Amino acid sequence: MNKPLEFEGIRINVVYAPKLKHSYLRVNADSTLSVKTPVNSSRFIQTFLEEKRGWIDKQLRKNEQNRPLQVKLQDEVLFFGTLYSIDAPEVSSLRQRLTKLSTSEIEKITKAYDAFYKRSAEEYLSQRVEYFSKMIGLSYEKLRFRKMKSRWGSCSSKREITLNTQLMKIDKALIDYVIVHELSHLVHMNHSKAFHDFVEQHLHGSKALRKRLKDIRLLE
């Protein structure tokens, strides 16, 4: 049973689960709260949240610091972690495409942005994958690029690597981390200590890069 509540103006989604032994709290990306608890009591929920106030405030501040960048379509482009003006030479191909479209339809404009990121990914990411695969001494069967909502990349048991075209929105150090991460799955198809040690061996500072990547949220 779900029941909407509020805690100091913050919306809460409460899920009552009688079989649970403990209560659990999550601060969501949209800065709402989710509570799963065996106790069917609004007073208990408020007391529980009051006890967690410090942690809640910390997570809300973290959300604020890591808000996704708002990009003004047709005016700005997020590219390699930098917000460029549409007139910048780094994104001239997108500007030319938008000029030819001459439309205010959001769907068509978004498709132009997606096409720009895919073309850029095919050019830049291919070079970086080739560089690291040779450096590490690993071979893969196929390299694909597509826009994904929930992951930066993947590596299948068939040794096929897929990279998210949205990688072109983040800085180059993080892109390199994702590439080395996926290539490392050619050796370790898991996230064991041996896997992370292998990543670190070939990309120093990988732990810090992994942490930075987890904090990044991108708009569609």
- Provide the whole-model pTM: 0.71
User: CA 207 to CA 84: how far, in whole Å?
Assistant: 29
Provide the pLDDT for residue 105: 86
Helix (H) or strand (E) holding 63: helix 53-65
User: What is the per-residue DSSP string for 3-55?
Assistant: EEEEETTEEEEEEE-TT-SS-EEEE-TTS-EEEEES---HHHHHHHHHHTHHH
Report the candidate in 107, 146, 95, 150 with the shortest Cα–Cα distance to residue 125.
Answer: 146
What's the pLDDT tens digit per position in 157-182?
999 999 999 999 999 999 999 999 99
CATH 3.30.2010.10 location in the chain: 76-214
User: CA 76 to CA 86: how far, in whole Å?
Assistant: 5
- Per-residue tens of pLDDT for the chain, all 220 residues: 444 688 888 889 899 899 999 999 988 877 889 999 999 988 999 999 999 999 998 888 877 766 655 677 888 999 999 999 999 999 999 999 998 887 778 899 999 999 999 999 999 999 999 999 999 999 999 999 999 988 999 999 999 999 999 999 999 999 999 999 999 999 999 999 999 999 999 999 999 999 989 888 765 5
How many other CB atoms are there within 10 angstroms of residue 152's CB atom? 21
Strand positions, DSSP E, 111-213: 142-146, 153-155, 160-164
Q: Does domain 76-214 have CATH number 3.20.10.10?
A: no
Strand order in the sheet with 2-7: 2-7, 10-16, 33-37, 24-27
Provide the pLDDT for residue 70: 62
Helix (H) or strand (E) holding 173: helix 172-184
CB 68 within 8 A of CB 217: yes
User: CA 85 to CA 98: how far, in whole Å?
Assistant: 13
